[in-house]
Amino acid sequence: MQAAPLKLIILDRDGVINHDSDAFIKSPAEWIAIDGALSAIARLNQAGYKVVVATNQSGVGRGFFTMQTLNAIHQKMHLAAQAVGAEIDAVFFCPHMADENCDCRKPKPGMLQAIGKRFNVRLKDVPVVGDSLRDLQAGYVVGCAPYLVLTGKGTDTRARAGLPPGTRIFSDLRAVVEHLLDQTSESHPNLPAAH
């Protein structure tokens, strides 16, 4: 029997999983989960999804915090997720500033391509969830299905022009997950109960 194809979802971090700040999230104390986000990740895990975070963290390049601090922030995120039965399978991040012209900083697709390679998965139709245009653009370029959440910068992003074609808009990560899991149950309906 052939193994089922890997189900993957790619989430931005700030504004999707945790509250964002214009002054950057510079310490574990500043990392505060958005209500319902971590339990939404747990529901994805239960439905068989691998959950991967892809986040621009130019605060490292700007000297606002160190790699050690970034690791500590992610450690807090992993522990908070595990406390509600959720598992984040991997965190990919770009530490560079925009003027460094790297391939990994969203909206460039390098970080997402690296995720596809690591998990040996074609990115076509993989959901990518973000609150800013660059999250969705990076996903769209590699064939992902873009989902905008209205948490974080999402409301401002919706008001601006230029959302990738086919972008779906939801109030928060919990609502995206509800939608995805509803779709899954529709495409694989349970066998009717015997009478």
Distances (CA, A) of 44 to 23, 39, 129: 30, 9, 13
Which of 79, 76, 164, 158 minimizes the C-alpha distance to 127?
Answer: 164
- Structural contact between residues 20 and 158, judged by C-beta atoms closer than 8 angstroms: no
* Among 12, 20, 131, 172, the one annotated catalytic: 12
Element (H, E) at 81: helix 67-83
* Among 14, 20, 131, 172, the one annotated catalytic: 14
- Structural contact between residues 172 and 36, judged by C-beta atoms closer than 8 angstroms: yes
**Can you say how many angstroms the Cα of residue 86 is from the centroid of all Cα atoms in its chain?**
14
Judged by DSSP in three states, 25 sits in coil
Catalytic residue list contains 156: no
Catalytic residue list contains 99: no
Q: Report the alpha-carbon distance of residue 152 to residue 21 in Å, rounded.
A: 8
36: left (phi over 0), alpha (psi -120 to 50) or beta: left
> Active-site positions?
12, 14
